[in-house]
């Protein structure tokens, strides 16, 4: 019996050893798979950056020298707002548009016209989020959550314009704040920090290769149109794959880290959105990254909301960097419009988010639109057409009829 007992004990130890060995092997394999998936997400995020830039570059290729002519029609605050909106919706980069506006102000564009253009840039940049949310369009609940997370940024920026544009036209509020802040920091010499942008060098080689290939194979302006379509297609494909991966990866400790950074509260969300956007210098990219997380249920709409507001603030860094590179007699006004951009976004967050009634307006509108759009997908296309193109056209026609 003792011998039998020894054999039994030895067998039990062997089985236990095999279990530990198998468990260790399983843990290593799980770690390797998760590492592979995270690396794939990093690569897909890189593709997302390239795709967003492809849309802007494609528009520039298609429009050629006429791209900047979009800004020449700004004769009053309303047309300035419209031009900022449409230009950013087409170029797909509020950072690019606000940097162009800074350059135009340095070249003589009146600040009173440039301010509404900056406001319009905030509205136009949100079209990227809407495109990204379309990656979830085949899944009802996911699409509703993603679409709400995308459009809450739109409604906040629209509400901000409705509040601050009349104040600016009547009292010159932002003009005065920007002039004061620029007077505090302006010096006669260049303060250029444009080399801070480290994202552009990372994506430029791939972007340049794609652009040269398209230009070599296709005539102008077809090459630019193909770039735009390829960019939009890539965004939708990338977001679809990222969404699937995040469902598996966003568990346990990783999920806790994301919730600590974004979902812990409004201050944490705004800070996270600001810092991340400063790093990538693109609010479109930052907010586009959060949309799939909202779609997959990682974050609620109320948690995403402050993060997008932080993205509004963080994107101001690009215009500030552009302004520091300008020297001469117009350097002061260039810095002024950059500070106007910053002041406008900070004040928008302070005023709207601190007042419960105003804070809830974008939440309710985004939720209502998302529910309607999840039932009838055509609303998504109608919404984009109305907000970013038809409404601006009617505003221009109206301002011309009124003789502004």
Q: What is the pLDDT of residue 56?
A: 62
* C-alpha–C-alpha distance, residues 59 and 28, integer Å: 47
- Domain ranges for the chain: 2-397
Confidence of residue 186 (pLDDT cuts 50, 70, 90): low
Interval 293-312: pLDDT, tens: 888 888 888 988 999 999 88
Q: What is the pLDDT of residue 332?
A: 80
Interval 71-89: pLDDT, tens: 556 677 888 888 888 888 7
Q: What is the pLDDT of residue 193?
A: 47
The 10 Å Cβ neighbour count of residue 347 is: 17
What whole-number percentage of the chain has pLDDT above 90? Answer: 17
Q: CA quadruple 333, 339, 345, 351: dihedral positive or negative?
A: negative
125: CB partners within 8 A, 6+ apart: 88, 89, 92, 93, 94, 97, 283, 284, 315
Q: What is the pLDDT of residue 189?
A: 46
Interval 30-70: pLDDT, tens: 778 878 877 887 888 788 667 766 766 776 677 665 555 55
Interval 323-365: pLDDT, tens: 765 656 777 888 888 899 999 999 999 999 999 999 999 999 9
Interval 236-245: pLDDT, tens: 677 667 766 7
Are 235 and 51 within 8 A, CB to CB? yes
Q: Give me the mean pLDDT over the 168-193 stretch.
A: 77
Interval 368-399: pLDDT, tens: 999 998 888 888 888 888 887 788 878 877 77
Whether pTM > 0.85 for this model: the answer is: no
């Amino acid at each position: 019996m003792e011998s039998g007992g020894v054999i039994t004990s030895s067998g039990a130890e062997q089985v236990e050893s095999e279990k530990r060995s198998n468990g260790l092997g399983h843990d290593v394999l799980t770690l390797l798979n998760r590492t592979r998936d995270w690396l794939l997400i990093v690569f897909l995020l890189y593709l997302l950056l390239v795709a967003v830039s492809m849309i802007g570059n494609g528009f520039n290729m298609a429009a050629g020298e006429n791209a900047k002519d979009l800004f020449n029609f700004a004769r009053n605050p309303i047309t300035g707002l419209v031009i900022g909106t449409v230009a950013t919706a087409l170029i797909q980069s509020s950072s690019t548009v606000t940097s162009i506006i800074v350059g135009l102000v340095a070249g003589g564009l009146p600040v009173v016209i440039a301010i509404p253009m900056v406001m319009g840039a905030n509205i136009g940049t949100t079209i990227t989020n809407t495109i990204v949310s379309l990656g979830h369009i085949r899944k009802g609940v996911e699409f509703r959550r993603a679409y709400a997370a995308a459009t809450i940024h739109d409604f906040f920026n629209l509400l901000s314009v409705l509040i601050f544009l009349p104040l600016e036209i009547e009292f010159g509020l932002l003009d005065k704040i920007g002039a004061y802040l620029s007077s505090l920091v302006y010096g006669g010499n260049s303060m250029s920090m444009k080399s801070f942008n480290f994202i552009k060098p990372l994506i430029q080689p791939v972007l340049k290769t794609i652009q040269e290939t398209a230009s070599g194979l296709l005539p102008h302006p077809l090459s630019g149109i193909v770039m735009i379509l390829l960019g939009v297609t890539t965004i939708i494909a990338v977001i679809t794959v990222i969404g699937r991966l995040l469902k598996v990866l966003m568990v346990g400790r990783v999920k806790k880290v994301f919730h600590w950074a974004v979902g812990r509260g409004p201050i944490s969300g705004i800070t996270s959105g600001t810092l991340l956007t400063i790093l990538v210098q693109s609010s479109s990219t930052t907010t586009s990254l959060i949309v799939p997380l909202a779609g997959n249920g990682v974050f609620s709409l109320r948690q995403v909301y402050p993060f997008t507001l932080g993205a509004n603030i963080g994107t101001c860094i690009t215009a500030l960097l552009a302004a520091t590179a300008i020297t001469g007699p117009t350097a002061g006004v260039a810095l002024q419009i950059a500070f106007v951009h910053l002041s406008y976004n900070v004040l928008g967050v302070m005023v709207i988010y601190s007042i419960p009634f105003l804070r809830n307006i974008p939440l309710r509108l985004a939720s209502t639109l998302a529910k309607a759009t999840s039932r009838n997908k055509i609303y998504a296309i109608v919404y984009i057409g109305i907000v970013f193109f038809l409404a601006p056209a009617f505003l221009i026609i109206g301002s011309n009829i009124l003789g502004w």
